[in-house]
Chains A and B, each alone.
Chain A
């Protein structure tokens, strides 16, 4: 686990809306290492979904990637012609969208979904080969092969999500981007799907970028996590280090706000204030967290903190010196 498989440098992306520009990805740099499971943690409205969209240039019409580089094995995805990007996305890089279970076609059996996906990316495969591969990946997701004959409405929410993940994996990507893949499912189902993803990551070395609002769900599963706030990454480190000894005040506040069974009621604290506006011109000056930060200093209101490297950890905060 050393080589970066994906290197994001100074990426900035906006949405064009009536009120102006919403800068949901603001000068973000991040490396994704070969074989790791990297969690990106952010609350709703922080721009974490947009980050994945900017990496793959998959987004709505009012979405603009301003600047930066996204190097996948030294190829800049932002400069790649559409046709080549699409080929790469179907085969080398997989994308599991949020609420992806709703993306299954109600008129298609699971089998047909596999035929459609595989034949468009691997035109050389015949039907038997496609079916064999489908069975292989369904079993990897702990689904019975007879699921192939079922329509989406015959599957539970958790089974649908497993089918979608199996579909994405069947194109044999080496990098999978997952956007809140288990939200809206029961806790037991969530835990078992996440454990399943970890199993695949460990066994096959598939690199995964896992975007979620719930840091607790990645305990024991993610290698590293990046904390995303107001369109920026504020802290990166191994999940054990970050949870045990958070550096950034936002990370600390986020962990304090978690409601867990090993905390007493007095130990849980909501974060005061509101998430920042991402509208250009309305975004807080200096550090984006300063209006809610208990350690705010004068410099925080004026100067944006640079990303510091402290050993194997990164933090963007004026409390620390590089």
Chain B
């Protein structure tokens, strides 16, 4: 298994003020508003948000599946979108994407062996039949689909959801990518299998030095997958509302949206019968048409008049960037359930 050769400080890929606007006949929707990001080896970047937050669009921009409307994507200093098609495809192979639904991502009439072997043959030319088989077995062991010999001739429907997703992940690493975009890899998998998928992603980072863009709506899984130096971006309606070290945001979120997300994140010590929290959750089901103010204002328990009329500034607090008018006042503030 060859290893990524980049050193720790080298930026593999960067996004500079990237926006994506989808246009329909009647209106245009800004799915991603001016977002910047730097991806380095051996790093997990967590993206947290609800549906419609733009987290998948961000993942697709990183994986070169979506061309930005404005802003620049650079892969090792070059703009892939300006490169000739052949070179573009070569770069694209270095950034692999794992989809949410492991039930849809595998061909139901191909065995486990065929699924992996066809990709191995495509990328590692000139291997003998035995070498291909060895490589497939090695991949299955990495995915903890054991004993590998037993599963070689099984079809996807014989595998549990967790196994399928791990199979999808090891299939994605065959081209030896430097970046792996994992888009909600655990959301469709049983509770008891989730940890096994996150463990695999963690070992890819530590063993192969891969950068992993981990997209999720489950904040608790961010804590599980992250090391102290890994980053977290909290997204809401196409905007990064809070950005910083995952460990710091999880310990003390500043943006009101991050605070709410953390207060409802899965926890065995959570008190689900909290009357006041329930009120906030109901508040959050209101929906109002936005003016030019903060995208979160209509759901925000801390909103003041200014939030509805003026776009919020990016406030820098230590290592953290928070998109909020009241960011500096809200440090250490709890969700006002009082």
**A253 touching B192 by the CB < 8 A rule?**
yes
Partner of A43, one of B191, B220, B264: B191
Interface residues of B in 257-307 (CB under 8 A from A): 260-262, 264-274, 278, 281-282, 284-285, 287
Give the complex CA separation of A122 and B264 in angstroms.
40
Let me know if A192 and B268 touch, CB within 8 A: no
- In the complex, the answer to whether B268 meets A243 with C-beta atoms within 8 Å is yes
Measured CA separation A255–B265 after assembly (Å): 16
Q: Is the Cβ of A142 less than 8 Å from the Cβ of B266?
A: no
Assess the B190–A261 pair: CB atoms within 8 A: no
Q: Is the CB of A261 within 8 A of B194?
A: no
| A195 vs B263: C-alpha distance when bound (angstroms) | 14
Does residue A290 face the partner (Cβ distance < 8 Å to B)? Answer: no
Shortest CB-to-CB span from A241 to chain B, Å, is: 13
A275 and B160 contact, CB distance less than 8 A: yes
B192→A191 contact, CB < 8 A: no
Task: Tell me if A262 and B191 are in contact (CB < 8 A).
Answer: no
Task: Kindly state whether residue B223 has any CB partner on chain A within 8 Å.
Answer: yes
Number of B residues whose C-beta is below 8 Å from A? 43
Contact (A257, B250) CB under 8 Å given A156-B287, A187-B264, A220-B272: no
Report B-chain residues with C-beta under 8 Å of the C-beta of A261: 219-220, 223, 250, 262, 265-267
- Interface: A88 (CB within 8 A): no
Contacts of B218 in A (CB 8 A): 187, 259
Shortest CB distance B48–A (Å): 10
A43 to B264 alpha-carbon distance, docked (Å): 22
- Asked if residues A257 and B224 are in contact (CB atoms below 8 Å), the reply is no
A119 within 8 A of B: no
How distant is the Cα of A18 from the Cα of B36 in the complex, in angstroms? 54
Q: Is the beta-carbon distance between B217 and A260 smaller than 8 angstroms?
A: no
Q: A156-B287, A192-B282, A220-B271 are in contact. Are A259 and B217 (CB under 8 A)?
A: no
With most chain B CB atoms within 10 A of its CB, the pick from A187, A189, A257, A269 is A187
Once bound together, how far apart are the Cα atoms of A18 and B272, in whole Å? 44
Q: Would A270 and B287 count as touching, CB distance under 8 A?
A: no
**In the complex, chain B residues whose CB is within 8 Å of the CB of A321:** none
- Taking CB atoms and an 8 Å cut-off, the chain A residues in 117-167 that contact chain B are 142, 156-159
B195 within 8 A of partner (CB): yes
Known A-B contacts A220-B272, A259-B221, A259-B266; A269 and B195 likewise in contact (beta carbons under 8 Å):
yes
- B260/A188 in contact, CB under 8 A: yes
Interface 9-mer from A69-77, A210-218, A300-308: A210-218
Q: Which of A158, A188, A220 contacts B273 (CB 8 A)?
A: A220
B21 within 8 A of partner (CB): no
The answer to whether B194 and A257 have CB atoms under 8 Å apart is yes
Instruction: Check A221–B224 contact: CB distance below 8 A.
Output: no
Residue ID in chain B nearest A44 by CB atoms: B190
**B192 contact set on A, CB distance < 8 A:** 43, 253-254, 257, 270-271
Q: Does A186 belong to the interface (CB within 8 Å)? A: yes
Closest Cβ of chain A to B204, distance in Å, is 16
CB neighbours (8 Å) of B274 from chain A are 220
Question: Does the CB pair A268–B224 fall under 8 Å?
Answer: yes
- Interchain CA distance A158-B261 in the complex, whole Å: 17
Q: Is A62 an interface residue (CB 8 A)?
A: no
- Do the beta carbons of A265 and B224 come within 8 Å of each other? yes
What A residues does B260 contact at CB under 8 A?
188
> Does A104 sit within 8 A of B, measured CB to CB?
no
| Closest A residue, CB atoms, query B189 | A44
A76 CB to closest chain B CB, in angstroms? 34
Closest Cβ of chain A to B143, distance in Å, is 13
With contact pairs A186-B51, A196-B282 given, residues A43 and B190 touching in the complex (Cβ less than 8 Å): yes
Q: Give the 3 A-B residue pairs with the shortest CB-CB distance, closest first.
A: A220-B272, A220-B273, A192-B281
Offer 16 A-B interface pairs, CB within 8 angstroms, sorted by A. Answer: A43-B190, A43-B191, A157-B51, A159-B285, A187-B218, A187-B264, A192-B278, A192-B282, A192-B284, A195-B281, A198-B273, A221-B273, A253-B192, A261-B250, A265-B224, A274-B160
Interface, chain B (partner A; CB < 8 A): 50-51, 160-163, 190-196, 198-199, 217-221, 223-224, 250, 260-262, 264-274, 278, 281-282, 284-285, 287
Given contacts A44-B161, A198-B272, 14 further A-B contacts (CB under 8 A): A44-B190, A142-B282, A188-B260, A192-B281, A192-B282, A216-B267, A219-B270, A219-B272, A220-B273, A259-B220, A259-B221, A259-B266, A261-B250, A274-B163
